[in-house]
Structure 1
Amino acid sequence: MQDTFTLRWVLAAALTAFLLLGALSVGASADGFLDQKPRIAVMSAFQPEWTNLKKEIQEPTEYMINGNSFITGKLAGKDVVLFLSGVSTVNAAMNTQIALDRFSVTTVVFSGIAGGVDPDLHIGDVVIADRWGQYLESVFARETPEGFVIPSWMKSELDGFAGYGMIVPRSVEVTRKGTGTEYRFWFPIDPGLLDVARKVAAKVHLDACAADKSCLARKPEIVVGGNGVSGSAFIDNAKFREYAWSTFQAKVIDMESAAVAHVTYANGVPFLAVRSLSDLAGGSGGPNEMLTFMALASRNSEAVVKAIVAEMP
């Protein structure tokens, strides 16, 4: 009887192992990857930004994760995985980490639109910042008769940035393999990717006219370098735009790039964000221009990203 029970137990264990192996072969591999091939992750914030990129993917295979589409294939001759971050820092961070956990990602490149902050820039220009910070990582300071005051124990986390009223920016805690825990405001962009961007900037043509024949007053330019900032707020306010320029010397402001920079930094994965200006974050003096120039800005960003992917090793 004992021998019969032991035999049944062994057979059951073997059958379970076989079924698990079969499940891995049609789903995730043993390391959790849905696809083993090393790929460049190309991401955009929302549907209008990735329409053309999606059309150009060759040999596409779609994976659905948490209702979000991740498409593997080739873009500009390179193996990529294309997906949407979703709008806002939380969505961007979440979906970036999903991509890193489920695909063999070597590099992350972001293609999208943004608001222009630098007064010397114009709608249609493409900005490739060399570092990103999260301006809404902050403390809402206590208001006193002497002004806004932050808790004394929090001063070590500040970076000397002036506050916008009660909103005082501070560093964010980051945990990274090999370095442990640190506080930082700026997340640097990979120098090698910036070199590729500079090569591309010299030869990519940017559109100046929208589909309805609305044309920009000047030819758009590609700017490589400078600061970018992100936060979970759509900025359409001239005074805050001035604050972002004077405080952070930010050329561009958006809702995702710094969060992706944070996640890729923590994971040790190279990152580059390509942001085309669809509006001036409230600085134009008239109604917000995003809907008018979103398609144009998206095309310009896509053109630069494709050229960068093609140029990458």
Structure 2
Amino acid sequence: MKQKPRNILGGCVLALAALLGGVQALAAPGNPQAPDAAQAGIRLDDTPRVAVISAFAPELVLLRKSLLDPHVYRVNGMEFVTGTLQGHPVLLFLSGISMVNAAMNTQLALDRFNVSHILFSGIAGGVNPELNIGDVNVPERWAQHLEVLMAREVEPGIYEKPPGKGTMDLPHFGMLHHRAVRVVSDAQPQPEPQFWFPVDPELLAMARDMQNVELQSCDEDNVCLREPPRLVVGGAGLSGTAFVDNAQYREHLTQVFQAQVVDMESAACAQVAQANKVPFLAFRSVSDLAGGGPDANEMPIFLDIAAENSARVLMAFLERWTTRPVVASHP
């Protein structure tokens, strides 16, 4: 049967109208079932906002409950929620667990929203023996501890690196030899090695001024900490693609990097923030001792307390933040 000729121009107009209609539906206030905006390729909200990120749902519970005027967007299957927290326009979302998810979804947020600052709230493994479960650490720099060369074992316990493969001049852990990542920037278009990614100095200074933040010692099931939790600002944080529950590796991270905590996302977010020139700071509460405790990993027991304490510090930080967020500097 002979087909009727297609009106290509008319089809394009209809497709454009459908796309714009979808974006308008997405922007409808209070729409909990907002359509996926993955194909729109546009900024979804122009208000300068502080991005508040957690890795997985339990870490975001208190923050989500406290959010005023929530408005849900979905992009690439991820949920982004705008609203107001402690008087600040914010964007709440989950990074997803581990480094690739964190980098991908942080960049996605920066591309689709007007993000002025990035704050991360979540749990971590305590690496510094002086930290106790429930303590909240705000590191001044982050690095990727599993950016490594896995060396060949040429004799029992003796590892040899292949020629031409540079590593850092640091003690190795068995076959694992630490390396820096290679980054580029507007000022330095050729890849250069960088290990530490510093947080924003102004945000860190504000965190140092915080005092008397009320932290939780017991959860609703009457599970309690052995020591009163503290806020500890400064030191180094490490991130990697492994959940660390090994006493020997924990000791290695302490001795080599003088690390406070270890997690699976913050360094990835710090690198993305640097690339986009967006100020970054992370709040991490100790949920376990990364293999350094006397018994099995403590995270299943103290997850709720740790997540609550990290969120409490972030909320207190926002409450004390008297200046309004500036307009994001990235395109």
Same fold flag (TM > 0.5)? yes
Q: Deviations over 1:202-261 (max 9, x none)?
A: 131111112221222221111111001011111111111101101111110011111111
1:193 aligns with 2:203: yes
Q: Deviations over 1:164-196 (max 9, x none)?
A: 100111000112233323211110000000011
1:268 aligns with 2:283: no
Map 1:22-101 to 2 at 5 A: 22=20, 26=24, 32-101=42-111
Shift of 1:31: 7.8
1:143 equivalent among 142, 153, 158: 153
Letter in 2 for 1:198: R
The match for 2:183 is 174
Distance (Å, rounded) in 1 between the aligned partners of 2:308 and 2:102: 21
Task: Verify the 8 A CA contact 2:134 2:306 in the aligned structure 1.
Answer: yes
Shift of 1:14: 11
How many residues get paired? 302
The secondary structure found in structure 1 opposite 2:121 is strand
Distance (Å, rounded) in 2 between the aligned partners of 1:219 and 1:204: 12
The match for 1:309 is 318
Distance (Å, rounded) in 1 between the aligned partners of 2:218 and 2:60: 19
The match for 2:29 is none
Letter in 1 for 2:262: I
The match for 1:113 is 123
Structure 1, unpaired ranges of 5+: 1-7
1:232 equivalent among 210, 229, 241: 241
Distance (Å, rounded) in 1 between the aligned partners of 2:153 and 2:202: 45
The secondary structure found in structure 2 opposite 1:153 is coil
Task: Verify the 8 A CA contact 1:159 1:185 in the aligned structure 2.
Answer: no
Q: Normalized per residue, which structure has more helix? A: 1
Task: Verify the 8 A CA contact 2:118 2:279 in the aligned structure 1.
Answer: yes
1:127 aligns with 2:168: no
Percent identical residues: 48
Distance (Å, rounded) in 2 between the aligned partners of 1:249 and 1:132: 12
Task: Verify the 8 A CA contact 1:127 1:251 in the aligned structure 2.
Answer: yes
Shift of 1:21: 8.9
TM-score normalized with structure 2 length: 0.85
The match for 2:228 is 219
Letter in 2 for 1:192: E
Letter in 2 for 1:191: P
The match for 1:154 is 165
Distance (Å, rounded) in 2 between the aligned partners of 1:305 and 1:37: 21
Distance (Å, rounded) in 2 between the aligned partners of 1:215 and 1:60: 33
